[in-house]
Each structure stands twice: as C-alpha cells, then as structure tokens.
Amino acid sequence: MILAAGRGERLKPLTDRIPKPLIEVGGQPLIEHHLQALSRAGVSEVVINISWLGEQIRSHLGDGSRWNLSIAYSPEPPGALETAGGIRRALPLLDSECFLVISGDVLTDFDFGYLVGRRPSGLAHLVMVDNPPHHQHGDFNLAPDGALQIEGMPRLTYSGIGIFHSNLFVDVDPEVPMPLRPLLEQAIGRRQLSGEHYRGKWMDIGTLERLHVARQLN
C-alpha cells in the first residue's frame, strides 16, 4: 500500500493544484519512483489511498499496467483519514494478513524486495533511518535484539516504510481519522514492534525547502 491521501499543507502553494505524490523529483513524480521499485521487487498488486486531488492520481497512474502492476484505489473523504485510518479503510482491498506500506512522500533507494513476502514477528516491522535535521530527536530506540522501544538511546526515525499485520488495525474505525503513532506505541508496550536500521538513501519530501534539496540531488 502506498499512502497518497495527504493534503501536503507544507508544500503549498504547489499542492494547491498538484497532489503531493505527483510532484516531480528527478524527472518523474514521487509515486512513480515507488511503483518502479515495487515492480522490480516482484510486487504485482498495489493499493493507493487517495483524497486531496485524488482523481489526478487515479488519472495519471491508471490501472498500473505501465509498471506491470495492478493498482486499486481506496478513496477517502475530504480531509482524509490519517495513516492508521487510511490503512484500516483499505484492508478489504489489501486481501492479505501482512502487507508492505510505503509513505508516498519519501524518496529512497531502499530495496522493497527485501521485505516482500516477509511477516513481522509481532504486529509490525519498521524500517528506521538516521534522524534528519528536521526531526533530530527521532521516534524510537532500536534495541540490539531488533525490538523498538519508546525510551532509550540512540533514537532513530521511522522512514514511512514497514511491514504491517492487519491485526494492528482491528480496533480502528474505518470512517474516523486515526494517526498511526498511538497504535505503534501500544504495540511497543506489548513487545510486538520490531525494526531495522537502513543507512542508504532516504529523504522526506515534506516541505518546499526539502523538495528543493531533493531536486538538486536527483
């Protein structure tokens, strides 16, 4: 699943007319970087949630056949459902207990094939990265045994890439906005959240300044 429903408030005025996943970096829309990488990794079916200017995304990507993929769309109401709510709403389309989730606004060379077909030992397995300048305190500590912890040092940042089990979302209302972090913290409390540290290329294209940097580097 590629998360693509966000409004992109910090990328205004660009996102007043273009949905964030269709913003170009390196000569192509952000979301196409993911689709190409997923196709190379052997993925055949992708679900994309859409809300703000979502029909532009659907019109541009179509059925996914250009990348040898089958794309299904999960429309959300105006304002979207945030990360957990959007995933919960899309579960009937995902048709699997475990699935890969990718944030549509990150740019990375991470090999998705490494995660395809894997099952988390608990409720989710997250790819963590070094803390970027705009998020210096990070999200979680990665223990030597691979468990993620709320406390502890050093802290790393969740990359927006992970393998999730559908049971993580069982109590989420598919009609109500719900962020992901509370669910992750609950899973940590039950020792059901693991992670790994990725040290390769990764950028969060969340602001105009970071978009400018990404375009200079790609």
Q: Give the per-residue pLDDT at 11.
A: 85
The residue written with tokens 């966000």 in the block is 6
216 has pLDDT over 80: yes
Instruction: Note the pLDDT of residue 4.
Output: 96
**How many CA atoms are closer than 13 Å to the CA of 127, on its beta-carbon side?**
23
When pLDDT is cut at 50, 70 and 90, the band that residue 46 belongs to is very high
Number of folded domains that form the chain: 1
| 3-state secondary structure at position 217 | helix
Q: Does residue 211 register a pLDDT over 90?
A: no
Whole-model pTM: value is 0.94
For residue 116, the domain's CATH number is 3.90.550.10
pLDDT the model gives residue 15 = 87
Per the DSSP assignment, residues forming a β-bridge with 163 are 100, 125
Q: What is the pLDDT of residue 40?
A: 95
Parent domain of 192:
2-217
pLDDT of 86 reads 96
CA-wise closest residue to 76 among 100, 95, 52:
52
Q: Is the pLDDT of residue 7 over 90?
A: no
Structure confidence by residue, pLDDT tens digits, 108-130: 999 999 998 888 989 999 999 99
